[in-house]
Amino acid sequence: NAGVTQTPKFRILKIGQSMTLQCTQDMNHNYMYWYRQDPGMGLKLIYYSVGAGITDKGEVPNGYNVSRSTTEDFPLRLELAAPSQTSVYFCASSYSPSGGVYEQFFGPGTRLTVL
Amino acid sequence: GQNIDQPTEMTATEGAIVQINCTYQTSGFNGLFWYQQHAGEAPTFLSYNVLDGLEEKGRFSSFLSRSKGYSYLLLKELQMKDSASYLCAVLDSNYQLIWGAGTKLIIKP
């Protein structure tokens, strides 16, 4: 199993550009998440999904969009990139049956700089 | 508001024991996680506590007191590879993880 994979690993964007961060998991997990991590700060939840076709906003969703058409994929779209979106982005997944709590597995991250 | 507090940085000596504390105030509680994150890498799961008490897993132990809103991670027989950030995260009433900023642990020979 590859686990959670993310592409690209690094990206530099100009202000106003758009891009999609890709995330794929092969563990058949129902829950998937997108976080951003700024230096010296905790992880902040951007969006999450409890299953294919269902997405919901997290703590910091502005400027981002997601979709979940399959169990495996959960892409994050940045529209009109701004310097405030410079961060490390982590995708994570977990298996969360009703009544159970399981750990989240993280991808290697995408380091995004907006200039 | 929701808040998780951890020390920013700690230093310890190889072979010693270190305790990393975490205090939390969250809307609801469905458990507390500890993750390890090496520089430039993704967080990896260490432990999960939902009941009061101590959970031991090899050199690492995690303690929880729900009444005090307090947890600690205890690392024994420290090794150089334990140099990393340690993240405390609480699962709130909506089953979302609220993350602390992490404690950077520096191990000296």
Are B53 and B62 in contact by the 8 Å Cβ rule? The answer is no
* pLDDT cut 70: percent of chain A above it: 97
CA distance B98 to B104: 18
CA distance A40 to A20: 25
CA distance B100 to A109: 18
Instruction: Give the pLDDT confidence of A19-70 residue by residue, as tens digits.
Output: 999 999 999 999 999 999 998 888 999 999 999 999 999 999 999 999 999 9
CB–CB contact B45 A103 (8 Å): yes
User: What backbone torsions phi and psi does residue A84 show, to the nearest 5 degrees?
Assistant: -65, -10
Q: Residue A100: which pLDDT band, with cuts at 50, 70 and 90? A: low
Instruction: Give the pLDDT confidence of B2-46 residue by residue, as tens digits.
Output: 899 999 999 999 999 999 999 999 989 999 999 999 999 999 999
Which is nearest to A70 in space by CA: A91, A87, A49, A99?
A49
DSSP string, chain A: ---EEEE-SEEEE-TT--EEEEEEE-S--SEEEEEEE-TTS-EEEEEEEEETTEEEE-S--TTEEE--SSSSB--EEE-S--GGG-EEEEEEEE---TT-----EE---EEEEE-
Are B10 and B103 in contact by the 8 Å Cβ rule? The answer is yes
Residue B44 has what pLDDT? 96
User: What backbone torsions phi and psi does residue B76 show, to the nearest 5 degrees?
Assistant: -105, 160
Pick from A60, A103, A110 the residue to mutate for testing the B interface (most B CBs within 10 Å): A103
Query: Using CB atoms and an 8 Å cut-off, which of residues 41-80 of chain A contact chain B?
Result: 41-45, 48, 58
Query: Using CB atoms and an 8 Å cut-off, which of residues 55-74 of chain B contact chain A?
Result: none
Q: Residue B99: which pLDDT band, with cuts at 50, 70 and 90? A: very high
Residue B65 has what pLDDT? 98
CB–CB contact B99 A43 (8 Å): yes
Residue B76: what residue type? K
Provide the shortest C-alpha distance from residue B15 to chain A (in Å).
27
Quote the tokens at residue B31.
Answer: 């458990």
Of the partner residues B42, B95, B101, the one whose CB lies closest to the CB of residue A90? B42
The SS3 call for residue B31 is coil
Q: Residue A90: which pLDDT band, with cuts at 50, 70 and 90? A: very high
Residue B55: what residue type? E
Residue A99: what residue type? G
Residue A110 pLDDT greater than 90, yes or no: yes
* pLDDT cut 90: percent of chain A above it: 85
Instruction: Give the pLDDT confidence of B82-97 residue by residue, as tens digits.
Output: 999 999 999 988 888 8
Q: Which residue has the higher pLDDT, A95 or A82?
A: A82
Q: Residue A1: which pLDDT band, with cuts at 50, 70 and 90? A: confident
Q: How many residues does chain B have?
A: 109
Lowest model confidence (mean pLDDT) among A6-15, A83-92, B86-95: B86-95
Provide the shortest C-alpha distance from residue A78 to chain B (in Å).
21
How does DSSP classify residue B92? -
- What is the rounded average pLDDT of the residues B46-75? 96
Residue B106 pLDDT greater than 90, yes or no: yes
Provide the shortest C-alpha distance from residue B31 to chain A (in Å).
8
CB–CB contact A101 B31 (8 Å): yes
Of the partner residues B30, B33, B101, the one whose CB lies closest to the CB of residue A42? B101
